Structure 1
Amino acid sequence: MEWRKCYLDVVLVPLGFLMVTFYHIWLWHKVRTQPESTIIGINARGRRFWVSSIVKDNDKKNILAVQTLRNTIMGSTLMATTSILLCSGLAAVISSTYSVKKPLNDTVYGAHGEFMVALKYVTLLTIFLFSFLCHSLSIRFINQVNILINTPQEDTSPVTPSYIAELLERGYMLNTIGNRLFYAALPLLLWIFGPVLVFLCSATLVPVLYNLDFVFPTTNNNSRSSTSDDDHHHEQKGKVINVRDFIV
């Protein structure tokens, strides 16, 4: 009887988790093969140009570099603090002698056994811990960039702009992974109320992330190219008229 209650948990929860996992595998493939079609690839290329411009004109842009990196560190610190607070709350719930599943037995589908409840909280605790770890490592790398970006550039110095850009990319990549783990924990957080919500939240999360991760080409380019000659002709005609009026 208990196994029949686990049917929805065994089917819907792994299906929702695989849906999000396959999307991120496909996103990673797109970032590697077609980086200009993704927000992650375009931002990574822009950060490399930003490091190069900061290093070239360090005397004028050193304060700008420090403030920009400080804002990034503050964002990672906020996410790391939130993750560790959620870990502390989940650890307190797991170690509590109060049975948290009692108020939910009659309101949700799926299994309600002690093992299933423990599995839900341990899974959430593990994901939030990994998110905290990624954000902590991100802060470490960006702190290194914050120091090295203002070092004098000499011929014998091992601190080159490419090395600084590589450290910055590692910091931002860890920040992205920590954020995605945090997002993946949201459907699992609804697992407390049943496996159906996990599947529905995962199915909703994938289209939302798709619209946030990819760059869609605008449809105005063709119309602009087709009417460029007419616009140029009218512009030149307008210039002639203005010159004649001015002469008159």
Structure 2
Amino acid sequence: MEWKKCYLDVILVPLGFVISIGYHFWLWHKVRTQPHTTIIGINGSGCRNWVRAMMKDNEKKNILVVQSLRNIIMGSTLMATTSILLCCGLAAMISSTYSVKKPLNDTIYGTHGEFIVALKYVTLLTMFLFSFFSHTLSIRFINQVTILINIPQDPMSLVTHEYVCEVLEKGFILNNVGNRLFYTGLPILLWIFGPVLVFLCSLTMVLVLYNLDFVFSSGKGKMVDVNGNNDFV
């Protein structure tokens, strides 16, 4: 019976992670090859056009630039703060001797050994730490954009709109990575209650993200950047 419980953890938990990781690799491939079928690709093209417009008429739109980027920074700051607070709570729970770390119910599927219980909390802590790391890097790049995008245009300057677009894209990519890592914490959190919930939550999350990440349209009115490119990364 104990072997059967361990068998569920060994099979269902890695399978749930493989489904999630496989989906994001496929999403990355679509963003590279067919960017305008994805929300990320369309947003990337929009950001390129936005940077060009803001730098072209910076004297009139510099306030708009700062306000727009400030809103993005506030969102990343909120996620980074939430992640590090959860990390502090998990670290306190791992180092404590309270019975909350013990199985909630012996009838829950999956093994309840001390090693597995510790692995669950450490994995969850690691996900939130990497999410915090990604969001803080995103804030760093977007803060750089708030300065670079307001630099007066000079033909000899190294700060071109292509360079500003690249810095802004790095900030957005890190923001997306931080969000996805934060979302991954939900299946791992459910692992505390059993491996079956991990698999079901991972499968459900992939279906939800698929409907949020892809554009289901006839392809009319595609958005391209000012250079005619249709790629984001």
Deviation at 1:105, TM superposition (A): 3.3
Q: What residue in structure 2 maps to residue 104 of structure 1? A: 104
- Within 1, Cα distance between the matches of 2:87 and 2:54? 38
The higher-RCO structure (CA 8 Å, 6+ apart) is 2
Deviation at 1:102, TM superposition (A): 3.5
**Residues 12 and 196, structure 1, Cα contact 8 Å, conserved in 2:** yes
**Structure 1 range deviating more: 197-206 or 136-145:** 197-206
- Runs (4 or more) in structure 1 with deviation over 2 Å come to 1-5, 99-103
Unaligned runs of 5+ in 2: 221-233
Deviation at 1:180, TM superposition (A): 0.6
- Within 2, Cα distance between the matches of 1:10 and 1:102? 20
- Within 1, Cα distance between the matches of 2:103 and 2:202? 25
Q: Count how many residue pairs are aligned between Structure 1 and Structure 2.
A: 220
- The DSSP-based 3-state class of the residue aligned with 1:97 is coil
What RMSD over aligned residues (CA atoms) do the two structures have, in Å? 1.4
C-alpha offsets along residues 43-87 of structure 1, whole Å, 9 cap, x if unaligned?
Answer: 001000000000000011100000000000000000000100110
Does residue 196 of structure 2 align to residue 196 of structure 1?
yes
Aligned residue type for 1:4 = K
Does residue 109 of structure 2 align to residue 133 of structure 1?
no
Unaligned runs of 5+ in 1: 222-248
**Residues 66 and 146, structure 2, Cα contact 8 Å, conserved in 1:** yes
Deviation at 1:197, TM superposition (A): 0.6
Deviation at 1:98, TM superposition (A): 1.5
Q: What residue in structure 1 maps to residue 227 of structure 2? A: none
Aligned residue type for 1:124 = L
- Aligned pairs (5 A) from 1:6-21: 6-21=6-21
Q: What residue in structure 2 maps to residue 168 of structure 1? A: 168
- Within 2, Cα distance between the matches of 1:208 and 1:13? 19
Q: What residue in structure 2 maps to residue 86 of structure 1? A: 86
Q: What residue in structure 2 maps to residue 22 of structure 1? A: 22
Deviation at 1:157, TM superposition (A): 1.2
C-alpha offsets along residues 6-44 of structure 1, whole Å, 9 cap, x if unaligned?
Answer: 111111111111111100000000000000100000000
Q: Which has the higher helix share?
A: 1
Deviation at 1:125, TM superposition (A): 0.5
- Within 2, Cα distance between the matches of 1:198 and 1:102? 18
Structure with higher Rg: it is 1
- Within 2, Cα distance between the matches of 1:147 and 1:97? 49
Report the TM-score, using the length of structure 1 for normalisation.
0.86
- Within 2, Cα distance between the matches of 1:119 and 1:103? 13
Aligned residue type for 1:56 = K
Deviation at 1:2, TM superposition (A): 4.3
**Structure 1 range deviating more: 49-58 or 95-104:** 95-104
Q: Percent identity?
A: 74
**Residues 105 and 112, structure 1, Cα contact 8 Å, conserved in 2:** no
Aligned residue type for 2:139 = I
- Aligned pairs (5 A) from 1:117-128: 117-128=117-128
